[in-house]
Structure 1
Amino acid sequence: MQTGPKNLITDVAGLRVGNAQNDHVKSGTTVLISDAPFTCGVSVMGGAPGTRETDLLAPDKTVQQVDALTLSGGSAFGLDAPSGVADALRTRGRGFPVGDQTVPIVPGAILFDLLNGGDKNWDENPYKALGAMALSEAGEDFELGSVGAGTGGTLATHKGGLGSASMLLPSGHTVGALVAVNALGDASPDGEHFWAAPWEVGTEFGGKGFLPSAPSNLPNTKLSSHNTTIAIVATDANLTQAQCTRLATAAHDGMARALVPSHTPMDGDLIFGVSTGAMPLKEDIADTLWLGHAAATCLARAIARGVWHAAPKEGDTHPCFRS
């Protein structure tokens, strides 16, 4: 398995990621944008999602491309983050043309991080400003761990975080994943080995290897509604909106490989599937099969990397994996 040069979702040419966070609030926002509008689908498998403009991502809807995607903390308050992104894009003349108006299309998803030790007694919802700030920071290089939408993420026993990974396919296509990890379950059964270990490349999340034996007990959980892992998988392969939706659906396998349990009634687990359309498919069936496999593999690795890179902050309710 070969990663892209950065081992980030931005190895998909044209994509950029920006992060903004407020460590006092213990929450933040992450924005994905590209040089041009991109095709996007979505797949929701959790029981408690929070979203904006995801209905228009169905293949039968009029709008087939979007201008940016937003992942945010803040539960329902975080749904204001795309507004900050949309306002900023409108000033750039970016968006869907409607008469003499331009309407940026910015779907978003949120996770619940309101009970993680941060001060949430704000006078004004901070997420619109965080969305605009994250957009202004967008670039090909970005940090992982306790940044952006992963700032306030937690698991059953450790802090979550923002993760990313990439993979180059023999067909010449690139696949990448970006994820904010905040699950009801856990990324590790024993605090040393990751569930995602079979798909690790090198030592990208510690190189601890496989779990020595199958666990005999039920996995650790929060047993609460303070959850949701939200992600984006992207490729330069030229996919339709329906194929992007299938890419996102396949990527949920990676979430299930890396987080146990996944897709619970108290998680809002959601994945956006993105295509920049830069490279044609050579063999539709074979290429889309391996694109889905790569998306699942990248997402499993990205989840473990997000947890691995989490950093301690004052007032944390959970320890970091490496502490």
Structure 2
Amino acid sequence: MIEKFLIGHAENEGKDTGVTVILAPEGAVGGVSVRGAAPGTRETDLLRPMNSVQHANAVVLSGGSAFGLEASCGVMDYLREKNIGYQAGKHRVPIVAGAVLFDMDYGKFDFPDKQLGYRACEAATCDNSQQGNVGAGVGATIGKVMGPDFASKGGLGISTIQIDNGVEITAIIAVNAFGDIYNEKNQWIAGVRHPEGKNAKELLLEGTHHDMSGQNTTIGCILTNALLTKEQANKLADIAHDGFALAINPVHTEFDGDTLFALASGEKECSFLSLSTACVEVVRKAIVQGIPKT
């Protein structure tokens, strides 16, 4: 696991919803790419190449739909107490970006609030490889083409790849997709539970689907110790969506708000072509690993 980043999770008491926090206490060059048509996000504009802030201090992946954006306020409080952030006049302002997924039909109504975001920061470590029903993945479901009653359980996946010169890249993905999940051989592994075994793509081509507007979304973050410019970090996040397309079908629908962040700590020089190739595979693997084994 990449040492300059800390990963923490927190869930509500009933484990109906949760939040995953990625902290970069020393700051990291950030990027973002939003592909779905129904996103819920925070501070994505600050990560665009044309804007002045160069480093982010945290990315928050949260359940709770738009309500879950409140969790980022707890992360702000935690970082402010540590005097971490962008120097603005006499004050340090933590740069905290985030995205949310819809999980409010999974259990009782709840959302990650300010306190839960703070708790996730307190739990953050540099060697946290927890996955499955944890953090932002606890309320996630997949394969919702026929509605929630025919969906399967989603979750949070983490995967790491090492390439030349000690460069590492890690993907952390909360899988809450409208579509089904496929393995590296393009074989269906999880998703809609149709009585006749049809998959989401087949049902959509037949014109069959349930209205799940804004009730999905796969969100995640790419972490690397590579030296990247802000433009490259944004491009990396953009290319990483190919990993979504390899593992989720259909993907980037009008019912999803698929969002990927990228954070680079800048310790190792690296071929961007090699890094961007690895990022696609690490995202694909993280998505598959986030699905609970049945």
Please confirm whether the aligned pair reaches a TM-score higher than 0.5, indicating the same fold.
yes
Task: Give 2:219's aligned residue.
Answer: 230
CA shift digits 1:287-307 (9 cap, x unpaired): 111211111100110001010
Q: Is 2:18–2:112's contact at 8 Å kept on the other side of the alignment?
A: no
Q: Distance in 1 between matches of 2:38 and 2:201?
A: 26
Task: Give 1:145's aligned residue.
Answer: 132
Q: Distance in 2 between matches of 1:197 and 1:113?
A: 27
Task: Give 2:238's aligned residue.
Answer: 249
Tell me the CA shift for residue 35 of structure 1.
Answer: 4.0
CA shift digits 1:20-69 (9 cap, x unpaired): 00152600000001341001000011000000110111101010101111
Task: Give 1:301's aligned residue.
Answer: 285
Query: Within the alignment, does 1:79 sit opposite 2:69 as a pair?
Result: yes
Tell me the CA shift for residue 119 of structure 1.
Answer: 1.5
Task: Give 1:135's aligned residue.
Answer: 121
Query: Within the alignment, does 1:106 sit opposite 2:100 as a pair?
Result: no
Which residue of the other structure, out of 166, 183, 186, is the alignment partner of 1:196? 183
Q: Is 1:73–1:111's contact at 8 Å kept on the other side of the alignment?
A: yes
Tell me the CA shift for residue 183 of structure 1.
Answer: 0.4
Structure 1 unmatched ranges of 5 or more: 1-10, 188-194, 200-204, 206-214, 282-286, 311-320
Tell me the CA shift for residue 197 of structure 1.
Answer: 2.5
Mark the CA change 1:219 to 1:136 in structure 2 (over 3 Å): closer, same or farther. farther
Which residue of the other structure, out of 123, 133, 155, is the alignment partner of 2:142? 155
Q: Write out aligned runs for 1:1-323 (5 A).
A: 11-24=1-14, 26-116=16-106, 118-120=107-109, 126-139=112-125, 140-156=127-143, 157-187=151-181, 195-198=182-185, 218=202, 223-225=211-213, 226-281=215-270, 287-307=271-291, 310=292, 321-322=293-294
Q: Is 2:63–2:112's contact at 8 Å kept on the other side of the alignment?
A: no
Q: Is 1:184–1:222's contact at 8 Å kept on the other side of the alignment?
A: no
CA shift digits 1:130-162 (9 cap, x unpaired): 110101000122421111000100001310001
How many residues get paired?
272
State the AA in 1 paired with 2:38.
Answer: A
Q: Distance in 1 between matches of 2:200 and 2:175?
A: 25
Q: Distance in 1 between matches of 2:235 and 2:200?
A: 34
State the AA in 1 paired with 2:80.
Answer: R
Q: Distance in 1 between matches of 2:235 and 2:10?
A: 30
Tell me the CA shift for residue 219 of structure 1.
Answer: 5.9
Q: Distance in 1 between matches of 2:200 and 2:53?
A: 48
2:32 is paired with a residue whose SS is strand
CA shift digits 1:144-189 (9 cap, x unpaired): 11110001000013100010001111343111100000000111xx
Q: Is 2:86–2:92's contact at 8 Å kept on the other side of the alignment?
A: yes
Q: Is 1:185–1:222's contact at 8 Å kept on the other side of the alignment?
A: no
Q: Is 1:219–1:261's contact at 8 Å kept on the other side of the alignment?
A: no
Question: What is the identity percentage for the equivalent residue pairs of Structure 1 and Structure 2?
Answer: 41
